[in-house]
Amino acid sequence: KKIIVWFKRDFRFIDNPALYYAAQDGVVIPVYIHFPTSIKGKLTNSEIFHDQALLSFQKTINQSGGRLLIREEDPATILPKLIQEAGANALYFNLSYEPEQVQLDQYIYDNTLVPVQRFHAGLLTEPGTILNKQGKPYKVFTSFWKSLSSFPIQKPLPQPKEITWEQSEVNEKEPIFENTTISSHWKAGGEKEALNKLQLFLENQLEDYKTYRDYPGMDATSRLSPHLAQGEISPRLIWHETQEQLELTGMEKELSHTYEESAEAFLKQLVWRDFAYHQLAVFPHIVNQPPLQPSYRNFPWIAKEQEIFAKWKDGLTGYPIVDAGMRELNETGYMHNRVRMITASFLVKHLLIHWGEGQAWFEKQLVDHDLANNTMGWQWVAGTGFDASPFFRIFNPIKQAEKFDPPDGIYIRKWVPELKTLPTKYIYHPAEAPKDILNQASVTIGQDYPAPIVEHRFARERALEAFQNMKREG
């Protein structure tokens, strides 16, 4: 039996059910199809990372004796052609969870003339399986987490022992590969690199994850997000490897309380990803940015002023923690989770710009862009999502910086180098530093570093007033 395995964003051999079962059932014809939308215009950073992932995967298949067929056409048109050309008897693929792709998967399933097998591979649990007593999706994360963690999470499938690849003569197309600064920050090592990162994280960082995960100046999180977004690593594998690491450590030494708490904190973050996808499955329209909570439809957003928005994008707001985050994003395609919350909050609450604008900018810049996580992240910050941070809780960007960038603003000094010689006392709010201190550090506010584009207290009151107006009108 000849089986086409249609790869999408599941570039891995371990815990890849479509590949695993195809290898068991017959000869495998590996296919990847560039969606026409992703080959138009300038690539976003996550598309560049996607190309790197595709290239690595293509190499891995080559090394194991196969050839990945790459096509650039609408999958609905090209798949039937490929099936016919290759004389394939079946089509296997792992399911997508993004609304448009879900529809495409269904179309392919309904219209393919050979038998089709579909598998769940991208999440810990299938959307639609974690429901409350009324059979409805959870809106509160803690309940979702409790329910999910009481389920047995499926064990990851191993790498197929042997794969018989179809020996095709077709010259596969090289993926478009852009060498940009992003490539220098993210090693294109494919699945191997992702597994390596997980191992190093479990061995060296997991124990202190709970203590340090909120500090952007420390290398305390896994940085697995771009790999997860491209399916270079399976969340089920991460789940079980983390549990195993915990058991192993428990046997070796007196299992410290912090170790256990850290493992739980890490797994909880992974479950936020499932939470986001489960929401997207039930409310697919949220990708177009309507607020999940309808009262926010009347929110009096300020029309986007290009100049102000550009200052936020470029990291020139005059608030060092916000600027550090935006510059880290622009330079590396990544931003630490705590700082994503602070910068997003600043845009939505201090500048009163609709979160959709920020969401779109993150979509362009993030190397780990993920439709579900980005949508949920922004609605969480804006207070419009489920189990979101309430709108009236307004982050003070100076206090946040003092709290999360201790002891001396290491993260700010790295990303806002013009402030790097300022004493710690003023690194979080340089505009308030006395003249002589600024002189000593050779910083002139308004020249070397901007004055705050909006005053915190004013912005806070304006945001609260807008919120009250919305409630009154809603």
Q: For residue 64, give Cα distances in angstroms to 38, 70, 161.
A: 28, 17, 11
- Residue partners of 383: CB distance under 8 A and separation at least 6: 293, 296, 389, 390, 391, 392, 393
Binds ligand FAD by CB under 6 A, chosen from 98, 357, 368, 405? 368
Q: Which two tokens stand for residue 300?
A: 């009096």
Among residues 56, 373, 384, 400, the one that binds ligand FAD under rule CB under 6 A: 373
Count of beta carbons in the 10 Å neighbourhood of residue 174: 11
Q: How far is the CB of 222 from ligand FAD (least distance, A)?
A: 3
> Binding to ligand FAD by residue 224, rule CB under 6 A?
yes
Q: Does 56 bind ligand FAD (CB under 6 A)?
A: no
Least CB distance to ligand FAD at residue 227 (A): 8
Contact status: 412 vs ligand FAD (CB under 6 A): no
Tokens of 281: 């499955």
223 binds ligand FAD per the rule CB under 6 A: yes
Residue 149 touching ligand FAD (CB under 6 A): no
Residue closer to ligand FAD by CB (options 195, 366) is 366
Is 225 annotated as ligand-binding? yes
Is residue 386 at the binding interface for ligand FAD, with CB under 6 A as the rule?
Answer: no
How buried is residue 168: exposed, middle or buried, by Cβ count under 10 Å (0-12/13-18/19+)?
A: middle
Question: Which string of x and - marks every residue 266-295 that binds ligand FAD (by CB under 6 A)?
Answer: ---xx-xx--x-------------------
Residue 225 sits in the site that holds ligand FAD (CB under 6 A) = yes
Token match 């991460």: residue? 238
Burial 7-16 (b: 16+ CB within 10 A, else e): bbbbbbbbbb
Cα angle, residue 46 at apex, residues 40 and 50 outer, rounded to 5°: 80
Q: What is the DSSP string of 13-50?
A: STT-HHHHHHHHHSEEEEEEEE-GGGGSSSPPHHHHHH
Taking CB under 6 A as the binding criterion, the range among 69-77, 93-101, 265-273, 286-294 that sits at the site for ligand FAD is 265-273
Q: Which residue is nearest to ligand FAD (CB)?
A: 377
Compare residues 18 and 270 and give the one whose CB is closer to ligand FAD: 270
274 is in an annotated binding site: no
Interacting positions 155-214 with ligand FAD (CB under 6 A): 213
Which tokens hold the place of 266? 């890490």
Chain contacts with ligand FAD (rule: CB under 6 A): 213, 221-225, 228-229, 269-270, 272-273, 276, 337, 340-341, 344, 362, 366, 368-370, 373-374, 377-378, 381
